[in-house]
Structure 1
Amino acid sequence: MIRDRSVRGVGAAACALAMTAAFVASAPACTSILVSRGASRDGSVMVTYSADAPFLPKLLRVAGGTHAPGTMVDVRAWEDDEVRGQVRQAETTHTVVGLMNEHQLSLVETTTGGRPELVDPDGQLDYDGLMMLVLQRAKTAREAIGLVDSLCREYGYSSSGETFSIADKREAWMMELIGKGPGGKGIVWVAARVPDGCISAHANMSRITTFPMDDPENWLYSPDVVTFAVDRGYYKTDSGKPFSYRDAYHPDKGASARRACAGRVWSVYRRSAPSANFSDAWFRGEEGSEDYPLFIKPDAQLSVADVMGLMRDHYEGTPYDMTKGVDAGPFGSPLRARDLTFKVDGEEFMWERPISTQQAGFVVVNQMRAGLPDAVGGVSWFTPDEASTSCFTPFYCAIDALPASYTNGDYGKFSWESAWWVTNLVSNLAYDRWSRVYPDVRKAQVEQEAALLKMQPVIEETAAKLAEADPALARTFLTNYSVSTADAVFRRWQALAQSVLTDHVDAYQKDARGVPKAPGYSPEWLRQVVAGRGGQLKLPARAAGTDH
């Protein structure tokens, strides 16, 4: 987080810390979708980020400003909060809200790991510190890509491989990077512009393989991206094969990695372009199957609501639907307790890994638009906890304040005044009795978000007019709207948690009059119970029908 002179961002830093725990538990974390202007219904560029790890995030706002020449900024390690070193402060820095700055630049990530020997423990910048420095200094995606490279060359990079989604109001780029190992300052990297009219996605697995080296309008890369791989023995020029970034720096991690990571990309693609009939073979690990393309054109342009829906996916409507089967329990819950992999009688198995997962700390859908003033065009739709059981609320990119409920809380103690804890309470009440409780949650979610999306054009028309005459007044207007809207969502979720507790108690479900009913279990699940334990549970014919 930005504390005193630190460069660390609250949300990103917490995610980094939590992802250590997530990877220790063999649970790859974070999903990102990129949507180009031509692929969105209203000409927005959009990027998403699900920070999937067990932690309590506090929504970030860092004020921009001017700084005296020679000012230095402490860089702290997220593992132990020790100062790694110092970075020269930029003379001018930009305000950051969430993971978007006041110029509508967004930067989010997923961790890809890659070759462990390329981690430089002495580098001053881990990826979250790097992201925050870039957001405070860059105005465009191309400028951000250059800054990622130059900062790592100057100060060293200490994290493992990453895939960044970097987007501004006109372009979306996917940038993959990895360090050069102990003593090797800098990174090797490649960046691809999402073609207009297309979308892409990444989820903890490197996506970029071969790429053109003569198309700087659409592809950028470090000068040594190939030669470094050759020097390290990761690529042989006489192999007869074209250079592949992923093959060189992120060797295949096996079937479990594909299942956990590529499955999320497949689900984004199959929902966005059902006409393409994308095969599940690659993510199921079938030999000889083809990877999913880096970019696809959706069947129809995507709205903000569509993209929010993609972030709520549990493979519904596919053979891997997590609300179906014995593992979904009696109430069809998509919850699967960690670890992802498990063994039974010496054989290894794996749960599906969805886009929407219970350990998410927060989710954002960042929306950037060239046709509006920056203060109006950039909005971060944010929700604490996971997307399927919570509500996105808008925070404009240049606002002056944040609501208290989104900036406080302690992972070690429940609080009714913390948005993260309240949304988690609703989530956990839904997980245990999904088929009964989730309809209540979904109803509140649809009503609240539909109202917010309906209000958005009205709010932005007013704000845009204010921005022409008085930019400061426009910021105040958008600040008041963002804070009051978030407060209203928070209060709605407080009420929702209380109503769920009241209406679904002791396995009863109250009707509209408040009378408790006993809905029991579904016939499908009872058949599964009888198949496994029918001999123990079966009553003699004479006793059948008796209840107590």
Structure 2
Amino acid sequence: MKKIFVLTALALLVSVFSTPNASACTNYLITRGASTDGSNMITYAADSHVLYGELYFRPAADWAEGTMIDVYEWDTGKYLGQIPQVAHTYNVVGNMNEFQLAIGESTWGGVKQLGSQEGALIDYGSLMYLALQRSKTAREAIKVMTELVETYGYYSSGESFSISDKNEVWILEMIGKGNGEKGAVWVARMIPDGYVSGHGNHARITTFPLEGKTSISSDKMDKIFNPEVTTVYAKDVISFAKEKALYPKDGKNKNFSFSDSYGPVDFGGARYCEMRVWTFFNRVSKDMDKHFDYAKGNVKLDKKGYASNRMPLWIKPDKKVELSVLMDAMRDHLEGTELDMSKDMGAGPFGNPYRWRPLTWEVDGVTYCNERATATQQTGFSFVAQSRDWLPDAVGGINWFGVDDAASSVYFPMYCGSTRVPKSFAVGNGKMMDFTNKSAFWVFNQVTNLAYTRYNAIHPEIRDKQVALETKYQNFTKIIDMAAEGMFKTNEAAAIEFLTDFSCNQGDNLTNEWRDFYGYLFAKFMDGNIKTKDGDKQNPTMKQPGYSKEYYETIVKTTGDKLKVIGGDGH
């Protein structure tokens, strides 16, 4: 009976990929014991074909009693309503606030019947940015976020949130209760120090410890600030699943799996989502081959109907993770695997590791898929948030920020204490259908889209410049850290202005340099040629590399003698 129950429940579910406009994002989480310099780090790629990449800024402010704030859905701009403002809100640069608290997310949809909640006022985007304005720590953010949806309702579908501060890193997974009920069910778990985790559009928390020394339910939220507590969950997370026939009424609570009940994994959940987590885990551990079959979409079910071959929620890396390694993890196209996107026919003659949407397609009634890699063309912005407990907060937090496809972007340092952002990255500088070459988003898109046309020739030049700039920035911040830390002892305001000025200069200088870089690349690779300046000569040297031997052979195989030269040479 239990197996029949589970199969019936599965019929009620849809994956996030059945929703055409759903956001698809990637997060990696690194605890300080797993990083080379002892910093906590999370990454976030905000991936949407209609998201304009810009760096949000919300200054600290005091608010009069009775002030109300308007809430708009982040994805669509739809007005949802008003909620009371708090007395004081904190300075927020992008997805990181002045206390080194950072939050990212990925959408996974989950149970269709829970995907909407009429009258709800808080969507997942508002939840992140309200929490950043109202919280100093990850634990406080979890309390704020869960209380907000309990009070005002949850407007979005299933979400995973990465939440980090200078001491801890947490993952919070949440799904609404659907129409007729207010709020959400959720579980939050602290990543053990020395471990790494990740999520990419699929729920990853399965079973979790129930009430005890290290685990509390939401009716005891006053205990969340006890450092021994490492798991927190909605008091009705299990009973609600039973009520909605998502878990057997006689099922044992200790066997309850959040993901398998509210968002079970299927082929798409593994191949398009868990695969991205696998690629990161595979970079830092030699023990991931055993999970590759699962990540490719071969999901095996046990007698309960749960996936029996899932990857762990967190792993211990073979060696500590460097900042540059984490940045490059955001640039993965499944290189080094049998699914390497630059190696099959879809890559075209120039090894382009991108596939234009839709994600799936049919031939003769059979459905096939494109890979969904971490690095993707539809990224609006991405970041690596770095929190360091040995420095003053305004210095210790760096939001390494970039716009557009991470593989062709550059992460520059925005100190979390900054009181303004670079003009070229600021909100209002251009829009998705409003081009301006003064905007970092458009400048980077020009370079990236040029690279897509002849990837194996153009991207290596982008990569060289990317590495050079990020190395420079990382060297600069070591000096800036020391100088700002010293300034804080005598003049905190001057130190914050110093950090702000540095961050803004780096961002705007990067945009200017990248704009010139586009001109250089366009001239060099125009018209299918590769041209290089030849001293003071009027004409450059020129190469016409054509296509690879393998691609020419493919042309002959598919065209026969149609292009065969008879009795002479072509020009």
Contact 1:122 1:183 in 2 (8 A): no
Distance 2:61 2:436 in 1: 34
Contact 2:360 2:370 in 1 (8 A): yes
> 3-state DSSP class of the match of 1:478?
helix
Distance 1:535 1:384 in 2: 46
Shift of 1:547: 2.7
Shifted more, 254-263 versus 380-389: the winner is: 254-263
| Shift in CA distance, 79/373, structure 1 to aligned 2, threshold 3 Å | closer
Q: 1:140 corresponds to which letter in structure 2? A: T
Distance 1:23 1:45 in 2: 34
Distance 2:230 2:93 in 1: 28
Contact 2:34 2:321 in 1 (8 A): yes
Distance 2:378 2:474 in 1: 27
Distance 2:533 2:290 in 1: 44
Query: Which residue pairs with 1:361 in the alignment?
Result: 380
**125, 147, 156: which one aligns with 1:128:** 125
Q: 2:480 corresponds to which letter in structure 1? A: I
Shift of 1:439: 1.1
Q: Does 1:527 align with 2:553?
A: yes
Contact 1:111 1:162 in 2 (8 A): yes
* Structure 1 residue runs of 4 or more that deviate by more than 6 Å after TM superposition: none
| Shift in CA distance, 143/267, structure 1 to aligned 2, threshold 3 Å | same
Deviations 1:180-228 (A, max 9, x none): 1113112110011111111000000000111111323221111111111
Shift of 1:239: 4.1
Query: Which residue pairs with 2:255 in the alignment?
Result: 242
Shift of 1:95: 0.5
Distance 1:81 1:204 in 2: 22
Query: Which residue pairs with 2:343 in the alignment?
Result: 324
Contact 1:264 1:354 in 2 (8 A): yes
Distance 2:89 2:55 in 1: 19
Shift of 1:82: 4.9
Deviations 1:379-402 (A, max 9, x none): 100001011001111111111111
> 3-state DSSP class of the match of 2:528?
coil
Query: Which residue pairs with 2:27 in the alignment?
Result: 32
**482, 493, 496: which one aligns with 1:461:** 482
| Shift in CA distance, 440/80, structure 1 to aligned 2, threshold 3 Å | closer
Distance 1:27 1:443 in 2: 34
Shift of 1:271: 1.1
Query: Which residue pairs with 1:145 in the alignment?
Result: 142
Shift of 1:468: 1.6
Query: Which residue pairs with 1:267 in the alignment?
Result: 279
Query: Which residue pairs with 2:528 in the alignment?
Result: 507
**492, 496, 499: which one aligns with 2:513:** 492
> 3-state DSSP class of the match of 1:446?
helix
Query: Which residue pairs with 1:412 in the alignment?
Result: 433
Contact 2:361 2:369 in 1 (8 A): yes
Query: Which residue pairs with 1:443 in the alignment?
Result: 464
| Shift in CA distance, 57/276, structure 1 to aligned 2, threshold 3 Å | closer
**236, 239, 242: which one aligns with 1:230:** 242
Q: Report 1:97-246 matches (<5 A).
A: 97-118=93-114, 119-213=116-210, 214=212, 215-216=214-215, 217-239=229-251, 242-246=255-259
Distance 1:483 1:467 in 2: 19
Q: Report 1:304-343 matches (<5 A).
A: 304-343=323-362
* Uncovered stretches (5+) of structure 1, i.e. residues with no partner: 1-20
Deviations 1:442-490 (A, max 9, x none): 1110111111111111110001111121111111000110011111211
* Uncovered stretches (5+) of structure 2, i.e. residues with no partner: 1-15, 216-228, 301-307, 535-539
Q: 2:488 corresponds to which letter in structure 1? A: A
What TM-score comes out, normalization by structure 1 length?
0.93
Shift of 1:103: 0.5
Query: Which residue pairs with 1:399 in the alignment?
Result: 418
Distance 2:531 2:77 in 1: 49
Distance 2:125 2:256 in 1: 29
Q: 1:93 corresponds to which letter in structure 2? A: T
Shifted more, 368-377 versus 68-77: the winner is: 68-77
Distance 1:261 1:82 in 2: 27
> 3-state DSSP class of the match of 1:323?
coil
Query: Which residue pairs with 2:86 in the alignment?
Result: 90
Shift of 1:277: 3.1
Distance 2:18 2:420 in 1: 34
Distance 1:437 1:517 in 2: 14
Shift of 1:76: 2.5
Distance 2:458 2:464 in 1: 10
Q: 1:88 corresponds to which letter in structure 2? A: P
| Shift in CA distance, 263/474, structure 1 to aligned 2, threshold 3 Å | same
Q: 1:175 corresponds to which letter in structure 2? A: L
Distance 2:92 2:556 in 1: 57
Query: Which residue pairs with 2:225 in the alignment?
Result: none
| Shift in CA distance, 107/331, structure 1 to aligned 2, threshold 3 Å | same
Deviations 1:275-305 (A, max 9, x none): 4434311122225361111001111111111
Q: Report 1:1-40 matches (<5 A).
A: 24-25=19-20, 29-40=24-35
Distance 2:416 2:440 in 1: 20
Distance 2:489 2:334 in 1: 45
Contact 1:25 1:338 in 2 (8 A): no
Query: Which residue pairs with 2:221 in the alignment?
Result: none
Contact 1:268 1:310 in 2 (8 A): yes
Query: Which residue pairs with 1:425 in the alignment?
Result: 446
Contact 1:390 1:423 in 2 (8 A): yes
> 3-state DSSP class of the match of 1:535?
coil
Distance 1:80 1:229 in 2: 29
> 3-state DSSP class of the match of 2:342?
coil
> 3-state DSSP class of the match of 1:51?
strand
Q: 1:294 corresponds to which letter in structure 2? A: L
Contact 1:256 1:350 in 2 (8 A): no
Distance 1:176 1:80 in 2: 22
| Shift in CA distance, 22/287, structure 1 to aligned 2, threshold 3 Å | closer
Contact 1:27 1:338 in 2 (8 A): no
Shifted more, 520-529 versus 190-199: the winner is: 520-529
Deviations 1:56-99 (A, max 9, x none): 13211101122122221122244664542221111111000000
Query: Which residue pairs with 1:18 in the alignment?
Result: none
Q: Does 1:66 align with 2:40?
A: no
Residue-pair matches, total: 524
Deviations 1:361-393 (A, max 9, x none): 011000001010000000100001011001111
Distance 2:17 2:436 in 1: 24
Distance 2:506 2:285 in 1: 33
Distance 2:380 2:79 in 1: 25
> 3-state DSSP class of the match of 2:331?
coil
Query: Which residue pairs with 1:12 in the alignment?
Result: none
Shifted more, 235-244 versus 518-527: the winner is: 235-244
Distance 1:526 1:199 in 2: 44
Shift of 1:28: 5.7
Shifted more, 267-276 versus 428-437: the winner is: 267-276
Query: Which residue pairs with 1:8 in the alignment?
Result: none
